[in-house]
Structure 1
Amino acid sequence: MSALLHASDGTAAAGSSRSPKTPGWLDWYCNPSRPTFRLPPGAVDAHCHVFGPQAQFPFAPERKYTPCDASKDQLRALHDHLGVSRCVVVQATCHGADNSAMLDTVESSGGMARGIATIRPDITEAELRRLDAAGVRGVRFNFLKRLVDASPKDDLAAIAARIAPLGWHIVLYFESGDLPELEDFFGALPAPLVVDHLGRPDVTQPVDGPQFTRFLRFVEHNDVWVKVTCPERLTVTGPPALDGQQHAYTDVVPFGRRVVEEFPDRVLWGTDWPHPNLKDHMPDDGLLVDYVRTVAVTAEQQHKLLVDNPMRLYWPGEAC
């Protein structure tokens, strides 16, 4: 692969103001395999990030982690390798509410990228209009306590009211066990909702058990889209065996397949590159592409997941 796909070690040189990586940080895999599943023309990676580079786009002082660099050029090299045509860049928590790195990636894409921002309630109307013109189409609300100190509902409701007139949507990141205390708040938000990573189900529980069934009914009864993403975060059985006899993330497959079957017109896919905060293994992005056909098993499902749905949500009215 291109030399662009070499991760910076993130180590601060002598005299540098750069911060060292979080101890034990896993860098993204710089030599992904070539997928055996060929993505359809116009395929969209609807969930990816950029980190820095730190020297150009410093990380937020209040961040919970310090990653390696993961630049827009490295992201584009990966997408070229995988066969991805367009992408949606989600603001990384390590950058806080400074959307500069994300915006730089989106604005330099020639219209082939959209952005999901992190904003504060006191954002000006002028700044909202600037973000919209740049290609931002939503905001992210993070409810994972290990990544944010708090998710004050009053502030989030105020933000939702500010972005609704723009036609933006709200990306939600939460643990499945927290849905019962959050779903009334979510259902009252005045914008479409997009749920990250299947709502992070406990894949040791039955796919037809009460926890995941509650999530499915939440999706059914609200204006909700679901990202069929991050099996590497949800798995207990782990990545494929080195001998190739085990497919990737088999314990997550029934959950992804169930969502694709029930809501074929409201599912999205993404790589989650560069895979922040993983603790046990770093996935091969080529295998994550191959994983798609295990949850979207027909050509029609695959085209909706990878092309039709993200185009309708992020590039409405544009041809693929």
Structure 2
Amino acid sequence: MKIDPPTWHPEPKRPDYTPPAGAVDAHCHVFGPGDRFPYAPERKYTPSDAPKEKLFALRDHLGLSRNVIVQASCHGRDNAALLDALRNDPENCRGIAVVDPEISDNALRDMDAAGVRGIRFNFVRRLVDPDPQDVSARLAARVAELGWHVVVYFEALDLDELAPFLRDLPCDVVIDHMGRPDIGSGVDNPGFTSFQRLMEQEGMWTKVSCPERLTTEGPPYDDVAPFARTLVEGFPDKVLWGTDWPHPNMKSHQPDDGLLVDRIPVIAPTEELRRKLLVDNPTRLYFS
């Protein structure tokens, strides 16, 4: 399978905005290196290697303090690269794994000891073949016993189908990238209104991340900012932020992670909102 060229900016700017101490990048990835951590045979893309050393260097460059590393579909259910990164910086890293529904209790406990705090369900069919909802629900019940939560990734068009399933899960639910709203339809569109209703339920969280994937206009992503700001202001204790480095499957441009940091004051216009978004919320969910 052809290896994708690097999708991250080779020289991200140093941000003008200085994040507060303890700021968390709550959505990022590590890929490979492939000769040590092979990519999954069933993968639908092959990224260029983006190992933990590059992620940690970027964290320092951006003025961030901690990472939540999310298992990506190119590594399938082999979490070796993720666990290696967590064990190399246990104080500052936590993880979200993708696991086989039949995983043993001992394996889950080992992941918990390494810093895994949740599992990810990916319902984006162009990236994966999702498990049936009943299978995922049983797995969620098992990890809830560890105090873990579920991270879900889906397209906006799938919200109505998935909402009852998400509401019934026995643990907190973190929705990736604002549920991928239809940016061109504006913040008052029915889909985004439905998403906000889902967010009103106790235990629902969302990441106000990935404007580079959602934009119809390109950098600096002014068209996406009203969606993120609506969620930050409407649900200040239930929002997270992340870079999505190294931006897998980006075709349109290489996002500048320094610019993404500089967008934080635009979507979180007060110091209190920024502290909740970057420090208080992710610390409560991942590091307490």
TM-score calculated relative to the size of structure 2: 0.98
C-alpha separation in 2, matches of 1:50 and 1:181: 31
C-alpha separation in 2, matches of 1:201 and 1:195: 12
2:7 is matched with which residue? 27
1:111-260 to 2 correspondences below 5 Å: 111-239=91-219, 248-260=220-232
C-alpha separation in 1, matches of 2:186 and 2:28: 29
Specify every segment of 5 or more residues in structure 1 that has no aligned partner in the other structure, as ranges.
1-18, 240-247
1:296 is matched with which residue? 268
C-alpha separation in 2, matches of 1:108 and 1:205: 43
Quick one: which of 57, 71, 76 aligns to 1:96?
Answer: 76
The alignment partner of 1:194 has SS state of strand
* Larger displacement relative to structure 2 (142-151 or 62-71): 142-151
C-alpha separation in 2, matches of 1:103 and 1:314: 15
Specify every segment of 5 or more residues in structure 2 that has no aligned partner in the other structure, as ranges.
none
The alignment partner of 1:226 has SS state of strand
Quick one: which of 225, 238, 259 aligns to 1:266?
Answer: 238
Q: Which has the higher contact order (CA 8 A, sep 6+)?
A: 2
> How many matched pairs?
288
What's the CA shift for 1:20? 4.2
What's the CA shift for 1:26? 4.5
1:59 is matched with which residue? 39
Over aligned residues, Cα RMSD in angstroms?
A: 1.0
Query: Is the 8 Å Cα contact of residues 26 and 278 (structure 1) preserved in structure 2?
Result: no
Quick one: which of 259, 263, 282 aligns to 1:310?
Answer: 282
What's the CA shift for 1:205? 1.0
* Larger displacement relative to structure 2 (153-162 or 67-76): 153-162
C-alpha separation in 2, matches of 1:56 and 1:50: 13
Percent identical among aligned pairs is 58
> Which residue identity is paired with 2:192?
F
What's the CA shift for 1:40? 0.7
C-alpha separation in 1, matches of 2:204 and 2:106: 28
Q: Which has the larger radius of gyration?
A: 1
1:7-46 to 2 correspondences below 5 Å: 20-22=2-4, 25-46=5-26
What's the CA shift for 1:106? 0.6
Q: Deviations over 1:208-253 (max 9, x none)?
A: 22111100000102411110100000000111xxxxxxxx100000
What's the CA shift for 1:161? 1.3
The alignment partner of 1:166 has SS state of coil
C-alpha separation in 2, matches of 1:212 and 1:151: 25
> Which residue identity is paired with 1:36?
D
Where has structure 1 moved over 6 Å in runs of 4 or more? none
C-alpha separation in 2, matches of 1:264 and 1:232: 22
